Amino acid sequence: MTITRLAAALVAIACVAAPASAQPHAGDFQLGAVAADHPLASEAGAQMLRLGGNAVDAAVATSFTLSVVRPQSCGIGGGGFMVIYLPDDPTHGRVLTAINYRETAPAGATPDMFETTELPDASTRSALAVAVPGTVAGLLYALDHYGTLDRATILRPAIDAGEAGFTADASYVQAARTTAKKLTPEQRTDRPALWETLLHEGQITEGDLVRNPQQAAALAAIAEHGRDGFYAGTVAEHILRACAAHGGIITAADLRDYQPAEIKPLLFTFDGKTILAMPPPSSGGVTLCEALGIAERLGYAGLGSPAPNPPAPGPDNTHLLVESLKHAFADRAEWLADPAFCAVPTDTLICAPYLTVRAATVDPAHTQPPASYGTRNGDTARALPEDSGTSHLSVIDQWGGAVACTETINLEFGSMIPAEGAGFCLNNEMDDFTTIRGQPNAFGLVQSDRNLPQPGKRPLSSMSPTIVLDAHGQVIAVAGASGGPRIITGTMQVLLNALVHDMPAADAVAAPRLHHQWMPDQVRLEPRLCAGGPDEATNAAALREALISRGHTLGAIDAVGVVQLITRDDSGLHAACDPRKGGRPAGH
């Protein structure tokens, strides 16, 4: 179906139709809060808030610190998205914007580059997998335009973390040990910044100190020279040398020319609230809003009726949730890509008539074959990777300003190719393109030809930084996640828990979750939903039975994303970091 036909069909449809919480992963604050997936990173942001900085200052300091303390997940070798809402900032007034600093295909990229190369694992573990990093340009753009503190202050905690080191926690050890096993003897020798500095030669254990003076020096160069400290000079030379040594095509001009893009966030109405979300090339905003809109029209948890919502997502609602996700992910596969390169029907996919027609096709008694969802068919099945290289942070400041920021290097430790001398791994974001037509990527996602690589194009992402406003325009929630496509399902369920089921932030984040991404056609349940029985708060046995009786195929999954949430109500700010990864919030 062409976009024109889709739009025409829609016209036709329209005509017819403070003190720390007792739980270590959570905290309550009065003025400002940061929830990141590492305690040192949350603390770096909170430090900026205490210095009088705003949410953008805090987000940028948090992100640079994550680059050091979560090198398996994100960092200056990757890219990201930031949604900013400052309703009443003393320096900038009212700001509503989004910054797209997604990594970009180099000038030498071609649509068939991964279909014709002889390199093994080319789109994930060769230097062809590396897209031009955007994090440094994006963070400095955000700081220059919407922050208030100087670069040296913002980068200080990150530089300190690189010099003094951080303590390896369970999440880091798991990622480092898994990655160490993947490296060949030759790779162990020629990648000391990864093998020795970050993986401790495969011997890392919890409590080890991980120092990274090379990255501290790279961050100091950024503090001193701004973007030229990364995209030119010594750090750029390290990046280019690493790419050239491993078959890559990134040039000095690719680095020099990289630019972040400022765009208008998606605005979507859900249950009387306004969702601010990231537009394409993130698929996160469109897919999240489409799924929420369909769920609302299906009467999920009593939405749309005057009756109060049930306290927890009950078994019968779970089918409605899954069906909403199947439609939204089917449309993701067909329609979404970088809008700078092809027409993407963003507004159409989340407009009321389209959501109503999608909801009308849902059978409350039974799930349907994949071809019934969205606008196309496909066929694949592939296991999800153990983890993913992404990290989300949420911030609220004392003026009610908020930042939702998600960043990634794609898979754990990205391409596993470090910029030797600069202490960080280069991303493997090229795998988020359609690399081999008709075949799934590392996350089992089959995507359309719209998402083929082209010079300067940004690969489709699932990152879903999201801010929610009440009817008066006040921020009531900031959320987002890591986990590839599970970002979308994880963020959606945590928001439903907090906003619809009235769960406290700590419980909303900790509650077990499920995942469905349309293809493979399977509902994947976290361990507590697989094994839990009638005693579980969520009544896992009844939930499984409700899904099976409606024809769903069930599967298991370790974790449906890692979500960081801050909510705000009359009593203050409630921040929760996902216990699945070990973060801890900070604030004042």
Q: Which of 71, 77, 315, 484 binds ligand GLY (CB under 6 A)?
A: 484
- By beta-carbon proximity to ligand GLY, the closer residue of 280 and 484 is 484
Let me know: does 503 contact 511? Beta carbons within 8 Å: yes
Which of 260, 261, 259, 258 lies closest to 239 in space, CA to CA? 258
Rounded Cα gap, residues 181 and 413, in angstroms = 13
Of 144-152, 369-377, 455-463, 528-536: span binding ligand GLY (CB under 6 A): 455-463
Strand 554-556 to 523-525 pairing: parallel
- By beta-carbon proximity to ligand GLY, the closer residue of 21 and 126 is 126
Token pair 């080890």 is found at: 208
- By beta-carbon proximity to ligand GLY, the closer residue of 429 and 521 is 429
Alpha carbon of 564 to those of 102, 268, 392, 539, 552: distances in Å?
20, 21, 6, 24, 29
Neighbours of 137 (CB within 10 A): 21
Give me the half-sphere count of Cα atoms (radius 13 Å) on the Cβ side of residue 304. Answer: 12
Q: Which of 42, 62, 73, 408 binds ligand GLY (CB under 6 A)?
A: 408
- By beta-carbon proximity to ligand GLY, the closer residue of 454 and 462 is 462
State yes or no: residue 428 binds ligand GLY (CB under 6 A): no
Extract the tokens encoding 4: 């024109």
Rounded Cα gap, residues 18 and 171, in angstroms = 27
State yes or no: residue 410 binds ligand GLY (CB under 6 A): yes
Sort 61 into a burial class: Cβ within 10 Å, 0-12 / 13-18 / 19+: buried
Least distance from C-beta 207 to ligand GLY, angstroms? 30
Least distance from C-beta 364 to ligand GLY, angstroms? 31
Angle in degrees, 0-180, between the axes of helices 284-297 and 486-495, rounded to the nearest 10: 50
State yes or no: residue 415 binds ligand GLY (CB under 6 A): no
State yes or no: residue 463 binds ligand GLY (CB under 6 A): yes
Which of 511, 482, 400 lies closest to 66 in space, CA to CA? 482
State yes or no: residue 461 binds ligand GLY (CB under 6 A): yes
Least distance from C-beta 587 to ligand GLY, angstroms? 27
State yes or no: residue 493 binds ligand GLY (CB under 6 A): no
* Catalytic one of 390, 408, 434, 435: 390
Angle in degrees, 0-180, between the axes of helices 315-335 and 540-549, rounded to the nearest 10: 60
DSSP classification of residue 359: H
State yes or no: residue 338 binds ligand GLY (CB under 6 A): no
Catalytic residue flag (residue 135):
no
Sort 563 into a burial class: Cβ within 10 Å, 0-12 / 13-18 / 19+: buried
Which of 464, 479, 334 lies closest to 408 in space, CA to CA? 464
Least distance from C-beta 134 to ligand GLY, angstroms? 12
Q: Which of residues 341-360 bind ligand GLY (CB under 6 A)?
A: none
Tell me the site size for ligand GLY, rule CB under 6 A.
9
- By beta-carbon proximity to ligand GLY, the closer residue of 32 and 484 is 484
- By beta-carbon proximity to ligand GLY, the closer residue of 445 and 475 is 445
Q: Which of 104, 135, 462, 493 binds ligand GLY (CB under 6 A)?
A: 462
Least distance from C-beta 431 to ligand GLY, angstroms? 8
Least distance from C-beta 562 to ligand GLY, angstroms? 13
Q: Which of residues 429-448 bind ligand GLY (CB under 6 A)?
A: 429, 432
Which of 382, 385, 323, 386 lies closest to 519 in space, CA to CA? 382
Least distance from C-beta 101 to ligand GLY, angstroms? 12
- Catalytic residue ranges: 390
Give the interface with ligand GLY as residue ranges (CB under 6 A).
390, 408, 410, 429, 432, 461-463, 484
